[in-house]
């Protein structure tokens, strides 16, 4: 049973996309799970009424598993991330995360200001022992299984030790939430040989070899869309958040470019949908912020109701799989082995 707090006010299309996403998620989830919509009660109630009276009238049965939690303050994209918890303690982000810190919720999902969510998650949930920073993990569609890439934007300049921490977080995530045992971990670099790379990756390579992970060595940019090679598929790819964010935004922009190009030459919308569905980001939903003691899922600012629905499902999987407890246990084991 998971209680998911959803930031009803976060994202470019809130509250319409968030409230609709909540209803869609509940329709697909086991009835034991519930959602707490965090935001202005008046705004959320009005939106809920409009949807249930209109396009989502078939979802009335889900209303009972929805609670509304009042949070009157609004976070702007221009708000300084570090000031949100103190400056806007009654914002949907601070209230939603505090529910979890107080044991009244199991996970938090937001499509709002990412920097603010990271900062508030660190303050209100705190980091697991043995970590310097949290990391955002994103699933990249690939020719094989989706590849978990981290960090994809939380940290710009990373130490070799932090890259090892990311590897541990990513491996635990893939094993628990994606149910892939003994995931293969690759280090993103510019050549397969250990001596290829920049100063940080070369040192990280050496550390990863004795980290107790299934480390398969360096991987290259081509291994992200390919999912590794036939003989060496890869599940987790570790990099600093500068490289990870550049590649993520690059990948997000490829699909629209391809679709426009292919429509121009007569490929039909049905062909495209069938062919490119696995490259559609909204299929994958939110990106977990790993390392905090709890579950905090970051959704894209442009999240549609479907993307919100999938982010809520990611949150449920994280809770049900015991991801957070597993991360704590693995980090403690690594500390005591060191």
- Binding residues vs its own copies (CB under 8 A): 142-143, 153, 156-157, 188-190, 197-199, 201, 220-226, 239-243, 245-254, 257-258, 260-262, 264-267, 271, 274-276, 279
If we measure between CA atoms, which residue out of 108, 137, 61 comes closest to residue 289?
137
CB of 97 to its own copies, least distance (A): 24
Nearer to its own copies, 72 or 81 (CB): 81
Please tell me the distance from the alpha carbon of residue 87 to that of residue 83, in angstroms, as a whole number.
5
CB 133, min distance to its own copies, A: 14
User: Cβ of residue 132: shortest distance to its own copies, in angstroms?
Assistant: 16
Q: Cβ of residue 251: shortest distance to its own copies, in angstroms?
A: 8
Beta bridge partners of 154: none
- Residues 6 or more apart whose CB falls under 8 angstroms from that of 131 comprise 165, 169, 291, 331
- Residue 83 or 253: which CB sits closer to its own copies? 253
Indicate the residue among 170 and 197 with the shorter CB distance to its own copies: 197
**Minimum distance of its own copies from residue 196's CB (angstroms):** 9
User: Minimum distance between the CB of residue 104 and its own copies, rounded to whole angstroms?
Assistant: 34
Q: Which is nearer to its own copies, 18 or 114 (CB)?
A: 114
SS3 330: helix
Q: Choose between 49 and 249: whose C-beta lies nearer to its own copies.
A: 249
Q: How many CA atoms lie within 13 A of 128 on its CB side?
A: 28
Q: How far is the CB of 261 from its own copies (least distance, A)?
A: 5
Distance from C-alpha of 145 to C-alpha of 140, rounded to nearest angstrom: 9
CA-to-CA dists, residue 230 to 136, 143, 233, angstroms: 27, 11, 6
d(CA 265, CA 94): 49
Which of residues 38 and 187 has its CB atom nearest to its own copies in the complex? 187
From 314, 294, 268, 312, select the one nearest 8 (Cα to Cα): 312
Give the DSSP per-residue string, 257-312: HHHHHHHHTT--HHHHHHHHGGG-GGGT--EEEETBSS-EEE--TT--HHHHHHHH
Distance CA 181, CA 11 (A): 34
Q: Which is nearer to its own copies, 54 or 260 (CB)?
A: 260
């Amino acid at each position: 049973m998971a209680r998911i707090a959803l930031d009803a006010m976060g994202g470019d299309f809130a509250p319409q996309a968030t409230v609709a996403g909540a209803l869609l998620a509940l329709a697909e989830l086991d009835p034991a799970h519930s959602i707490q919509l965090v935001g202005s009660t008046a705004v959320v109630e009005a939106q809920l009424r409009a949807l249930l009276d209109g396009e989502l009238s078939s979802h009335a049965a889900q209303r009972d598993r929805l609670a509304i939690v009042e949070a009157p303050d609004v976070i702007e994209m221009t708000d300084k991330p570090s000031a949100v918890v103190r400056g806007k303690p009654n914002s949907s982000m601070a209230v939603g995360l505090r529910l979890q810190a107080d044991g009244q919720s199991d996970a938090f999902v937001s499509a709002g200001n990412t920097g603010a969510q990271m900062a508030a998650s660190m303050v209100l949930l705190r980091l697991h022992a043995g970590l310097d920073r949290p990391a955002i993990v994103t699933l990249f569609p690939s020719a094989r299984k989706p590849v978990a890439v981290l960090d994809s934007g939380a940290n710009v300049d990373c130490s070799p030790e932090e890259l090892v921490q990311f590897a541990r977080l990513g491996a635990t995530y893939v094993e628990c939430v994606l149910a892939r045992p003994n995931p293969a971990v690759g280090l993103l670099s510019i050549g397969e040989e250990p001596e290829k790379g920049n100063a940080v990756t070369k040192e990280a390579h050496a550390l990863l070899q004795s980290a107790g992970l299934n480390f398969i060595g360096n991987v290259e940019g081509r291994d992200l869309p390919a999912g590794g090679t036939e003989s060496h598929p890869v599940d987790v790819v570790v990099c600093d958040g500068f490289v990870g964010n550049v590649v993520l935004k690059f990948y997000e922009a490829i699909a629209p470019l391809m679709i426009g190009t292919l429509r121009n030459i007569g490929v039909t919308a049905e062909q495209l949908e069938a062919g490119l569905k696995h490259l559609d980001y909204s299929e994958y939903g939110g990106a977990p912020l790993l390392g905090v003691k709890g579950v905090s899922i970051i959704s894209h600012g442009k999240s549609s109701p479907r993307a919100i629905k999938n982010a809520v499902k990611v949150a449920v999987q994280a809770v049900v799989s015991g991801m957070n407890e597993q991360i704590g246990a693995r980090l403690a084991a690594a500390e005591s082995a060191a």
